[in-house]
Structure 1
Amino acid sequence: MCAQVLVADDDLRHAEGIRRYLVADGHQAVVVHDGRAALETARQIRPDLLVLDVMMPRMDGLQVCRTLRQESDVLVLMLTARSTEADLLLGLNLGADDYLRKPFSPRELMARIRTLLRRAARGAPPGLAERRQVAGIGVDPVGHHVTVNGVQIECTRGEFAILAALSEQPDRVFTRTQLLHHTRGIDRSSTERTIDVHVMNLRRKIEDDPRRPAHLLTVHGVGYKLAP
């Protein structure tokens, strides 16, 4: 499973170590170093999982978790140097999915992350087999066709793979690398530039004005999303 993980830790070396282990395990990782940045970045990129240190400047991890839980069901794994049961229960009561005390081994961290992602995947609805409708754009993964306002359009396999991924989670931002993951079985020579070309071609087919897209949007510095 390729997941997008946001790492929030004000210890730069520690955060970079976590990022490297995540990448080695096949995930995408974005790193920030304070609570305010964690909250803003989570809102922007909508990660699958947030690895969240409790003690951070500007806004601590508990505040970040409390705020995000009012807006999102993102998985949260909290990290803390505190060791009391009261601290652990506070984090879990605020909505954290798991809690890991420092110091911990990288193997333990990655095992916790895999467990959380597997648990979430088992509980996810079978959306891949369902027809989706996003702002007049219909995607049928079983019939492998796309409609725009009820009119069927022709898509290449690469274009369809990207649109199917985006339509499964409307308004979520996907990085180019994540979209590459969805097209790898179709064209193993694909590059991030290939994703840009597919998106450009899709806009010609689904947008009223491809130069001013209203649905298939670019999130600068991150990737693409399909706006509902």
Structure 2
Amino acid sequence: MTRVLVVDDEPALLSTLRIHLSARGFAVTTVADGASALRALDAVDPEVIVLDLGLPDIDGTAVLAEIRRRGRTPVIVLSARADSADKVDALDAGADDYVTKPFGMDELLARLRAAVRRAAVAAPPGGDDPVETADFTVDLATKRVLRGGVPVHLTPTEWSMLEILVRRRGRLVTQTDLLQEVWGPAYATETHYLRVYLAQLRRKLEPDPGHPRYLITAPGQGYRFEV
């Protein structure tokens, strides 16, 4: 069973999610505040997290930041905040996806399954030669990026996106192809996801993120990785 941690302060919603997710084979843990969520990270060791931003004790973005500090567990933000700026802020803070309340259960389940798949793809082992640049090494075999011999922390979604670009290095990967391969067909028009995640990758990998050397944008078309 896939272990999922659901963090939300609405008792009715927690009950509904527990029933539906359990019926579909998830091992569900529910908590109603940020402090309980952080304790559950160690106690439950979830494989995917559903996180509300509007928590009663700790802001959800602070909880997200701590989750990211501790590891790469995929996080789906579940929030009533529908403004695109809120979505970008959450993705920029390390969320793997963002679902706006009210939502359809089938949609949430599809996004959960996609997040779990991405995390599985991001985990070792592999079997490919490392790709070396002047500033970092992408080790396709162990699914890691090393900078000066030190691992660079990437979320599963960041790794999935980077891996696709690295495997097709020197070639243009269209926006549509990248969105569909990383997030799935339902995300084919969500181009703001690409802008957010490319910005994050550049901050982590590029010597000068404002003038990228490796992660190149072809305006209106897509992206390519140059060595």
TM-score normalized with structure 1 length: 0.53
**Alpha-carbon deviation of 1:44?**
2.4
Please say if residues 73 and 119 of structure 2, whose CA atoms lie closer than 8 Å, have aligned partners that are also in contact. no
1:70 aligns with 2:69: yes
Secondary structure, in 3 states, of the residue corresponding to 1:55? coil
**Alpha-carbon deviation of 1:5?**
0.4
The residue type paired with residue 32 of structure 1 is V
In the TM superposition, structure 1's runs of 4+ consecutive aligned residues that sit over 4 Å from their partners are: none
Q: 1: CA distance between counterparts of 2:122 and 2:13?
A: 31
Aligned residue for 1:60? 59
Runs of 5+ consecutive residues of structure 1 not aligned to the other structure:
128-228
Q: 1: CA distance between counterparts of 2:95 and 2:118?
A: 14
Q: 1: CA distance between counterparts of 2:70 and 2:116?
A: 20
Q: How does 1:74-153 map to 2 (within 5 A)?
A: 74-126=73-125
**Alpha-carbon deviation of 1:60?**
2.0
Aligned residue for 1:145? none
Deviation track 1:97-147 (CA, whole Å, cap 9, x = no partner) reads: 1000010011111010011111211222139xxxxxxxxxxxxxxxxxxxx
**Alpha-carbon deviation of 1:46?**
1.4
Q: 2: CA distance between counterparts of 1:24 and 1:61?
A: 27
Deviation track 1:45-67 (CA, whole Å, cap 9, x = no partner) reads: 21001100110111121110011
The residue type paired with residue 39 of structure 2 is E
Structure exhibiting the larger radius of gyration computed from Cα positions: 1
TM-score normalized with structure 2 length: 0.54
The residue type paired with residue 38 of structure 1 is A
Deviation track 1:55-81 (CA, whole Å, cap 9, x = no partner) reads: 011112111001111111111000110
Runs of 5+ consecutive residues of structure 2 not aligned to the other structure:
127-227
Aligned length: 126
Aligned residue for 1:218? none
Identity of aligned pairs, percent? 40
Q: 1: CA distance between counterparts of 2:3 and 2:42?
A: 13
The residue type paired with residue 111 of structure 1 is A
Deviates more, 1:37-46 or 1:108-117: 37-46
The residue type paired with residue 71 of structure 1 is R
